Chain A
Amino acid sequence: MVNDAYRRGRSAAPSHGTMQRYSIFSLARNALTGHRNWQAAWRSPEPRPAYEVVIVGGGGHGLATAYYLAKEHGITNVAVLEKGWLGGGNTGRNTTVVRSNYLYDESAAIYEHSMKLWEGLAQELNYNVMFSQRGVLMLAHGSHDEQVLKRHIHADRLNGIDNEWLTPAQAKAFCPPLNIGKELRYPVTGAALQRRGGTARHDAVAWGYARGADARGVDIIQNCAVTGVRRDGDRVVGVETTRGYIAAGKVGVVAAGHTSVVMAMAGLRMPIESVPLQALVSEPVKPVFPCVAMSNAIHAYISQSDKGELVIGAGTDQYVSYGQRGSFHIAEHTLEAIVELFPIFSRLRMLRQWAGIVDCTPDRSPILARTPVRGLYVNCGWGTGGFKATPGSGHVFAHTIARDEPHPINAPFTLERFRTGRLIDEAAAAAVAH
C-alpha cells in the first residue's frame, strides 16, 4: 500500500532550515504553477551511524517527542525510526477525538496540558491540523451514569477544566440527531458536555510534527524496523535495525502496541497487553452531525469528519492480538447502539473498517518514564485513548529524555507504580468501557 505520507517522505529533499512556510500567499503562488513546485514536507535521509537520541516509533507521540526535543531543549542530533510509514499505526487509525475531561488530578493535568497545546498547534507548526473544538457530549442513561458524569464534572471544574451538565432537551438542542425518546431500551437522561473538546485531523498531526522536527535537523527514517536493543551493562548504547546498527546516547521507545516487543529486546517485561481496537467509517454524507457524542453505557461513539464520513469507534477484542483487523461482532455491537441513539443513520452504509493495536496497562493510565536500563525511556500504555494526548505526551517525554528526569506532569506515570501500588486507576481513560 502506497501512502501519501510515504510518498512525500521519499521525494526530493529540502535542505535544513529552509522550510517552506505555508500561507495563503504560498498557496496562491503554487496554484499559478499548477502545484508542481511544492517542497517535500521532510527529507528522507540515510541513517547516520550514531545519534544523541534515537526515538523508536514514528507515530504522533514519537514525532512530537522529537519536535520538542529540538525546539524546547536544543537537541537536534535525533533520529526517529519508523518500521512502516509515518502515522501508519494508531496515529492514523484512531477516531481523532480530543478531550481533557478526566477524573483524577494526574490525568487531568496531562490531558489538559495537551489540550492547551492543541489550541495553538496549527499556528505553532504552520500546519493545518484541522483542530475543531466542536464539543464532546457524553451521554447518561440512568442514575448511575448521572452520578458518575456529575462527579467527573465537579472534579474537572476543580482542576480548571470545562465540563457541564445538560438535560436531555439541552443535549438534543446541541446534537439534533440524538434520539431522546422514552421508547429507547436505555433512554438518555442527561449528558456531560466539554465544549473545548472536539476532533483533529490525525494524519496532519503526524505530518506537521514531522515537518517541524525535520526543519530543526531531526532525521526521520521510515521503513527502518528496530530488531534489537544493544546494552552495555545497565546502559543502552544503540539499536539494531533493518538498516544496520545505530549507536545512541539515549533511546526513547514510543512503539504503542509493539512496546512489549521492543522492550523485550532490552530485557524488560512490561505491564502491558496489546489488543485490537476497532473503528469504522460510513459513506460520506453532507454535514449532519455537529459534535462528538459518546455513550459509555451502551458503547457508542461517533463524529463526522470534514470529508463527510461518520467516524464510529467500536470496542476492543477480548484477547491479545497483533492482527490489525478486529472482529465483526465487536463492530456489530457498536452499530446496534448507534442506530438506536441516532435512528437517521440506520440506512447508511459502512465504507471501511480497521483496527489498531493498543497497549493497555492494568490501571489504564500511560507510562512516561525512565526504565531500569540507563538511557532507555518509555512512553506507552496510552491504551484506547492516546491520540488526544499527542502534543502533551511528546512535550513532557522530551523533557524526561533531555533532563533525565520527569516533568512534574508525567512524574506520577512511572513504571515502578506497578510495584509500589501507587496506581492511577483512571475511570475515565476510555469514554466507553473497553
Chain B
Amino acid sequence: MLLITCPWCGPRAEIEFRCGGEAHIARPDPATASDADWERYLFLRENAKGVTLERWWHVHGCRRWFNAARDTTTEEFLAFYRMGEPPPATLRARLGR
C-alpha cells in the first residue's frame, strides 16, 4: 500500500485515495477538434515506465484533487503539487520536458 502525501492533509494511506490517471491532458476545443484530437484526449496515454505525472483524489479525506509524480518501476513518489500548477522544476529535467 502506498503512503501518499495530500498537499492539504499530509501523509495518508492509499485506501483513502482514488487515482485519476495521467495528469496534464488538456481537453481539446470541441468546435475545432478532429477525431484524432479526441482519440489523443480520451484514449492515448503515455503509460510511462519510469517517472509519470498523475492525478489523485483524496476521496475519503478532504475530497480535493492534486497532482503527483511517481516512478512506476519503484512506486516512489517524487513530488506532490496542486491542481493547476506545473510539475516542479526539479522534475522537468528528469522528465525531459
**Chain A residues with a Cβ under 8 A of chain B:** 258, 260-261, 269-274, 318-323, 327-329, 362, 418-421
- Interface 1/0s, chain B 59-86, versus A by CB < 8 A? 0000000000010111100000000000
Say if the beta carbon of B15 comes within 8 Å of chain A: yes
Question: Considering the chains assembled together, what is the distance between the CA atoms of A273 and B49 in angstroms?
Answer: 11
B73 to A: closest C-beta gap in Å? 5
Question: Can you list 6 contacts pairing A with B, beta carbon distance less than 8 Å?
Answer: A260-B46, A274-B49, A319-B70, A418-B42, A418-B43, A420-B35
A-B contacts, CB under 8 A, total: 70
Chain B residue contacts of A318, Cβ below 8 A: 18-19
Contact between chains at A319 and B54 (CB < 8 Å): yes
Question: Considering the chains assembled together, what is the distance between the CA atoms of A419 and B48 in angstroms?
Answer: 22
Nearest 5 interchain pairs by C-beta: A260-B47, A271-B43, A319-B19, A419-B39, A418-B43
Chain B residue contacts of A261, Cβ below 8 A: 47, 49
Chain B: residues with Cβ within 8 Å of the partner, total of 28
Question: Considering the chains assembled together, what is the distance between the CA atoms of A327 and B73 in angstroms?
Answer: 14
Say if the beta carbon of B52 comes within 8 Å of chain A: yes
Contact between chains at B18 and A321 (CB < 8 Å): no
A83 to B: closest C-beta gap in Å? 13
B77 to A: closest C-beta gap in Å? 11
Chain B residue contacts of A322, Cβ below 8 A: 49, 72-73
Question: Considering the chains assembled together, what is the distance between the CA atoms of A319 and B71 in angstroms?
Answer: 11
Question: Considering the chains assembled together, what is the distance between the CA atoms of A274 and B48 in angstroms?
Answer: 9
Chain A residue contacts of B47, Cβ below 8 A: 260-261, 270, 272-274, 320
Question: Considering the chains assembled together, what is the distance between the CA atoms of A223 and B48 in angstroms?
Answer: 23
Contact between chains at B39 and A418 (CB < 8 Å): yes
Say if the beta carbon of B93 comes within 8 Å of chain A: no
Chain B residue contacts of A362, Cβ below 8 A: 42-43
Contact between chains at B36 and A329 (CB < 8 Å): no
Contact between chains at A327 and B72 (CB < 8 Å): no
Question: Considering the chains assembled together, what is the distance between the CA atoms of A318 and B17 in angstroms?
Answer: 10
Contact between chains at A271 and B75 (CB < 8 Å): no
Chain B residue contacts of A319, Cβ below 8 A: 2, 19, 54, 70, 72
